Structure 1
Amino acid sequence: MVGHYELKPVQAEGRIDKYLANELPDLSRSRIKELIKSGAVKVNGQTTKVSYQVEAGDKIMLEVPPVAPLKLEAEDIPLDIVYEDHDVIVVNKPQGMVVHPAAGHPNHTLVNALLYHTKDLAASPEGFRPGIVHRIDKDTSGLLMIAKNAKARESLEAQLAAKTNERLYLAIVHGNFSEQAGVIDAPIGRDHGDRKKMAVVENGKKAITHFKVLQQFKNYSLVQCRLETGRTHQIRVHMAYIGHPVAGDPLYGPKKTLKGQGQFLHAATLGFKQPTTGKDLQFSVPAPENFQAALAELEKTAN
């Protein structure tokens, strides 16, 4: 979204950044704040502050310049490579690492580390995520498959579309279950009240999560989740939707939770067919130390 915009006179009240986020849904809240701070937003002909409270009748104008293109740079960041051949890399991503560069995270990502490791990464249509065919959240740890060439990308993306991949996650969630397993079939889309969040919404994209209860503790449970689809924040949204938010989740869970940084969610098992040979490959990695430490404490209260 680039260009000069003149909004109709304000009809509501509230902070200007929130008002603009509602009026201009193609701009993120962080981008709007950047524009305000840079002086690109004017109210009644004057630059303003992020904290400004709009009033009925205010006239708002803004100039949205092009975003500087992301520069992909190789960075010497250690990688936990579980498997590699001429077509694919399977990497165990640590919690806290962003998968690919974006406006808020221009470097220190998994892609930057991969570029240092190899020059063989499949080009991406967007240009800023070579090799990436699927993602996990910054604060989710675990397995990702990386395409090293165009043929591998096409094969892995086709497998994802056909839902033939095996993707199993471990999660520590709030509360206890009366059932041992279940299926959550609920469409996911952007939360109408908070653009940073996803939610179960009527007009969302089809999303299906299978879950199995592995162990129950006092106020918490360990579950295994299998993704049938791969929507943004799917497990986090679905578990919160059924009343069992992932422990430590800053967006969808309660503040009173287990000690740790980010959600206790780990992509533990990944299976797919090797793009050239068609051989079935499957990999599993243990949850990170903080996850295992939390489990050890919870096991003292096991039901």
Structure 2
Amino acid sequence: MRVDAALAKLLGLSRTMVAELAEAGDIRVDGRTVGKSDRLIADTWLDVTLPEPPKSLEPKEELIEGMDILYADEDVIALNKPVGVAAHPTVGWEGPTVLGGLAAAGFRISTSGPPERKGIVQRLDVGTSGVMVVAASERGYSVLKRAFRDRTVTKTYHALVQGHPDPLTGTIDAPIGRHPSAGWRFAVTTDGKPSITHYETIEAFREATLLDVHLETGRTHQIRVHFSSLHHPCCGDPMYGSDPNLNQRLGLTRQWLHAVRLGFEHPADGHYMEVESPYPPDLQHALDVLRA
């Protein structure tokens, strides 16, 4: 029999899976690598290396240094997410997660949402720090999820960008999509999704500007992409064109971007509340260097 037909019968795999194993060189007969259309001969030794089983996406419980709780009640948990922490488990991510940190600290999370993202109503990039809200109850999940979807949540970031944006206060309205030559990056593209960023200057330095940024939309890497497209990338962000010499002088090993404030209506009674997150030490240090 052909290799693909025989292994499908012997091991219960699909022919597509067998073809992938053969292409990867994981099927051998008497020590010789064979293709999917080769024939299996009686009295030869068949050796098949199967792929690892998919890993569980259950969050790994571990206490996370610097993940302070800023506000908590029976519906809402607002926390300060440190850099290097993902919101929830994903394929390929082995590091700490917000859900794992909350579980280790004894917090109950809403059971709503996909299994690996229970209670998650918003996300911050692994490389971005700041305030983030998680639903603690089913009521909290449905109300907050709808609020983020309908863009009634006020999201305020502070960003340190290179140079001085002109005008000092303005709006960037430019669609964002996958970068045409690097799928892991994003860029302003003609066929991208509508993306709107509002900004105001807080403080201007000789080499950089500290901005107050409000997002009208929430695209992946939106702030980083928009200011990079204006030739004012976030300091410490080599992926989008920051100056490595300035990054080194400021002591930055990640983009200077921090979610400082979230404003939303509380799921229980609808009263408006805001939660703020202070700058972490590395971002504060960069400002201190510029001010000195």
TM-score after normalising by structure 2: 0.79
Give 2:54's aligned amino acid.
V
In the alignment, structure 1 residue 84 sits paired with structure 2 residue 72: yes
SS of the equivalent of 1:168 reads strand
Aligned equivalents of 1:289, 1:69: Cα separation in 2? 34
Aligned equivalents of 1:272, 1:142: Cα separation in 2? 16
What do residues 123-170 of structure 1 show as CA deviations (whole Å, max 9, x unaligned)? 353311222111111121100011012221111111112211111111
SS of the equivalent of 2:59 reads coil
Residue 271 of structure 2: which of 273, 279, 294 is its match?
A: 279
Instruction: Give the unaligned 5+ runs of structure 1.
Output: 8-34, 48-62
Cα contact 1:70–1:106 (8 A) shared by 2: no
Cα contact 1:80–1:92 (8 A) shared by 2: yes
Cα contact 1:264–1:291 (8 A) shared by 2: yes
SS of the equivalent of 2:146 reads helix
Root-mean-square deviation (Å):
2.8
Cα 1:240–1:73 change in 2 (3 A) is: same
Cα 1:41–1:277 change in 2 (3 A) is: farther
Deviates more, 1:119-128 or 1:264-273: 119-128
Cα contact 2:176–2:188 (8 A) shared by 1: yes
Give 1:77's aligned amino acid.
I
What do residues 9-36 of structure 1 show as CA deviations (whole Å, max 9, x unaligned)? xxxxxxxxxxxxxxxxxxxxxxxxxx99
Q: Which residue of 2 aligns with 1:22?
A: none
What do residues 177-232 of structure 1 show as CA deviations (whole Å, max 9, x unaligned)? 33121111111122121111111122222211101111111221111110111111
Q: Which residue of 2 aligns with 1:68?
A: 55
Deviates more, 1:101-110 or 1:256-265: 101-110
Aligned equivalents of 1:205, 1:179: Cα separation in 2? 24
SS of the equivalent of 2:104 reads helix
The total of aligned residue pairs comes to 255
Aligned equivalents of 1:215, 1:208: Cα separation in 2? 22
Shift, 1:5, TM fit? 8.2
Residue 215 of structure 1: which of 172, 186, 203 is its match?
A: 203
Shift, 1:73, TM fit? 3.1
Aligned equivalents of 1:190, 1:40: Cα separation in 2? 33
Cα contact 2:78–2:134 (8 A) shared by 1: yes
Aligned equivalents of 1:215, 1:5: Cα separation in 2? 60
Aligned equivalents of 1:297, 1:135: Cα separation in 2? 30
Aligned equivalents of 1:286, 1:197: Cα separation in 2? 28
Give 1:68's aligned amino acid.
K
Cα 1:172–1:107 change in 2 (3 A) is: closer
Cα contact 2:59–2:88 (8 A) shared by 1: no
Aligned equivalents of 1:96, 1:73: Cα separation in 2? 15
What do residues 269-297 of structure 1 show as CA deviations (whole Å, max 9, x unaligned)? 11111001101010222211111111111
Give 2:57's aligned amino acid.
L
TM-score after normalising by structure 1: 0.76
Cα 1:118–1:179 change in 2 (3 A) is: same
Aligned equivalents of 1:108, 1:121: Cα separation in 2? 17
Residue 233 of structure 2: which of 245, 256, 262 is its match?
A: 245
Give me the identity figure in percent.
35
Instruction: Give the unaligned 5+ runs of structure 2.
Output: 1-13, 35-49
